[in-house]
Chain A
Amino acid sequence: MIGFYTVMEGIIAFFLVAGGVFAFIGSLGLARLQDFYMRLHGPSKTSTLGVGCTLIGSMIYFSLTNHTISLQELLITIFLFVTAPVSAHMLAKCALHQKLPHYERTKGRPEELDEEQEDPDAADRPSTTPAP
């Protein structure tokens, strides 16, 4: 007969291990992928799920040991989901601005990376900015 706590321990362990594996794969992607734009995919996605799994494990553990529902982890997840895409977007924007070289098999040729254009952002700034 397997007790309730043994089963829950197994579930918590599963989430912790899964979280660790995903975080590791995300970091491995930083080393293995070929150019900056591809490396962006690792941290923006894999680490999100890695942290998410770890937080689910932590939520179950503290809910069981303290006998109250632990909801702080939900906040961490929400903040992470709000901030991770924004930072990835800013990094990609910087890379385009610096015209970082991309992997030669990349298809599609964005005009942001063309050489003759001086400043890729110049044409894109909203014209609604009020004059000082």
Chain B
Amino acid sequence: MTSSNAVVDVHGLEKTYGKANERQYQALKGLNFQVAAGEFVGIMGASGSGKTTLLNMLSTLDVPTKGDVIVNGHDVTKMRGNQLADFRAQEVGFIFQDFNLLESLTAEENIGLPLALKGTSSKIMDQAIHEVADTLSIADLLQKYPSELSGGQKQRVAAARAIVHHPSILMGDEPTGALDSTSARELLDLLTTINQEQHMSVLLVTHDPFSASFCQRILFIKDGLIGSEIRRGDQDRSAFYQQILNELGTFNE
């Protein structure tokens, strides 16, 4: 069931915590889904539904107990050591709820990090940083340290770092979780722009219906399985928002 243009292909994904002789907890119970190239997909679910576990598997921060995760043609479950690190550095862009910016580096140095890891020449690096900074309108913040930035600014810097090296997919783990509503909205608009203009696939994990309403398709996880799925289609965002609320209403019962 692998479709040729899928950026992410998850098949029969299971994750069990605890050793065989201990009390075990199955967080994921055989998940199947795909994200097509250029798609903006949301994953929703209540606390403890397995969202974060899923994202950890996708981003190779954790290894599944069973099943396959194929990202941009790479089977990440078969990777080890340096391969995993390189995969994270090159194929995936991350935005975390707590920003994950290095406070000892300036915004510019933070953004340049993925390129530095690749060994990009400083000339190309400068060019790429300024390009992405212009897109995200943070050009005037580049010389500042994270401690001098507001939450919204930090998250934009984090977003710049996530896309500066043109990864095949951008993953967000509650990226608006620590932001006020204006900053959250700006960030989501930004993600939409990145998705549409750069044709970058975006996978957003969230429990916030407003954030989710920016997606094209939403997968609902419940007790370690995909419970249901809705598409935005031609609806405008507020109609889709209503649909999500309705779905959540029935889904959680």
Q: Do A and B come from one complex?
A: no
Interface residues of chain B, those whose CB is within 8 Å of chain A, are none
